[in-house]
């Protein structure tokens, strides 16, 4: 999300006939940034392997899409599910959890050793819950969790990745979202339908932090723990916009990347915020693999504007009764570490974990390390 306080800066109204959009002045490209999509790929062995990997992933996605159409009675039906449900098949696997990334791992995100694996020291039946609900951040979708889903499911956990309204494959127009309750409805609908006595672990990234906070106030008795991953962790009466305003003027990169959409005309407030694709790498994925940046560049959608303006109503009795944990990303260009620590100090969680070398998207840049922390938090007893 970044510093959204710039959204309220005075603007000169410009009437246009084409789709109304407006962006903040861009003083020029960030040093050392480049549009990696316009580069001519070399014929090296590594590049060919990367191309083959991308082709295989695209083919797999096409096959799944075709299967969904056939199951619904015809190729003309839209693929508009708002929730992606993924459960383990219950079989015992001896294969070790692996990340879907084929990149060389850094020293801060090594391949997990056998003694570190969840299967070695976690008895899933002894946990309060082994069901994770993953909630994406602004502009993302359930697709961004693909590595975390694979690692958790291979460890025997149940995983549900949610597409919030107008995100991922949810078909709603982002510009038509007028409230936070409308935006988080796929999440609240899912929680409402949980069986009596069933609990889940909520994990929210970026603006998803505000979304899980909203859900915690509504369904505290259905949530075992809440994990904020480089996420907006607000206090009562605060909006996401106000929280980001604490960093006024400190994030020039975000100011350059923001593109405001005015679906109702330039004389009305913005309806959504888009991000300049050429700046995605530096802003959100400065430590992430190239293929994940490519995935994001074709999958990210605009961020609805109205929900970031809405003040949350959070009570000690409900929201405050859910145990909160925060995961810091220490190489984050979109949500600087100073802002993360400011939120932590304003509303201290039960425990803070740190991901060294992680950018704003640790599910891409540090999937193994993030997985280890998620499992560790799931093991923390309520007593």
List active site positions. Answer: 206, 332, 360
Neighbours of 204 (CB within 10 A): 29
∠ CA(255), CA(288), CA(292), 5° rounding? 95
Q: Edge-to-edge strand order for the sheet containing 200-206? A: 83-86, 158-162, 131-135, 200-206, 223-231, 323-329, 351-355
Residue for token digits 């949530």?
223
32: left (phi over 0), alpha (psi -120 to 50) or beta: left
d(CA 21, CA 158): 41
d(CA 148, CA 373): 11
CA distances from 2 to 186, 202, 257, 280 (A): 24, 22, 10, 12
d(CA 138, CA 302): 8
Q: Report the first-to-last Cα separation within the chain, whole angstroms.
A: 35
∠ CA(99), CA(232), CA(145), 5° rounding? 20
CA distances from 79 to 70, 72, 76, 168, 290 (A): 11, 9, 9, 11, 27
Torsion of CA 359, 364, 367, 370, to 10 degrees: 40
DSSP state of 126: G
- DSSP string for 345-373: HHS--SEEEEETT--S-HHHHSHHHHHHH
Which residues contact residue 182 at a Cβ distance below 8 angstroms, ignoring those fewer than 6 apart?
165, 307
């Amino acid at each position: 999300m970044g510093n959204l306080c710039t959204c309220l800066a005075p603007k000169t109204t410009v009437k246009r006939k084409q789709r109304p959009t407006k962006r903040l002045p861009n003083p020029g490209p960030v040093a050392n940034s480049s549009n990696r999509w316009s580069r001519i790929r070399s014929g090296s062995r590594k590049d060919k392997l990367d191309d083959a990997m991308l082709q295989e992933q695209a083919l797999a996605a096409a096959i799944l899409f075709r299967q969904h159409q056939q199951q619904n009675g015809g190729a003309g039906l839209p693929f508009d599910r708002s929730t992606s449900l993924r459960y383990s098949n219950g079989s015992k696997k001896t294969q070790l959890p692996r990340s879907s990334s084929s990149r060389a791992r850094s020293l801060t995100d090594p391949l997990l050793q056998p003694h570190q694996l969840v299967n070695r020291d976690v008895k899933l039946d002894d946990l309060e819950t082994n069901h994770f609900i993953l909630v994406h951040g602004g502009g993302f979708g359930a697709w961004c969790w693909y590595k975390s889903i694979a690692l958790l499911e291979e460890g025997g956990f149940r995983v549900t990745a949610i597409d919030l309204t107008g995100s991922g494959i949810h078909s709603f127009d982002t510009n038509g979202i007028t409230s936070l309750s409308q935006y988080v409805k796929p999440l609240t609908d899912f929680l409402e339908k949980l069986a009596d006595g069933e609990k889940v672990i909520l994990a929210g990234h970026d603006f998803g932090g505000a979304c899980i906070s909203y859900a915690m106030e509504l369904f505290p008795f259905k949530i075992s723990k809440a994990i904020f991953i480089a996420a907006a962790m607000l206090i009562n009466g605060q909006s996401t916009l106000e929280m980001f305003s604490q960093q006024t003027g400190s994030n020039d990169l975000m100011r350059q990347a923001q593109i405001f959409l005015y679906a109702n005309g330039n004389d009305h407030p913005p309806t959504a915020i888009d991000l300049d694709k050429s700046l995605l790498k530096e802003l959100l994925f400065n430590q992430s693999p190239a293929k994940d940046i490519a995935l994001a560049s074709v999958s990210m959608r605009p961020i609805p504007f109205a929900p970031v303006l809405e003040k949350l109503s959070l009570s000690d009795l409900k929201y405050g009764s859910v145990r909160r944990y925060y995961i810091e990303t220490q190489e984050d260009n979109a949500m600087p570490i100073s802002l993360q620590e400011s939120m932590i100090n304003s509303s201290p969680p039960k425990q803070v974990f740190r991901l060294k070398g992680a950018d704003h998207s640790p599910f891409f840049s540090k999937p193994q390390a993030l997985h280890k922390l998620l499992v560790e938090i799931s093991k923390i007893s309520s007593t």
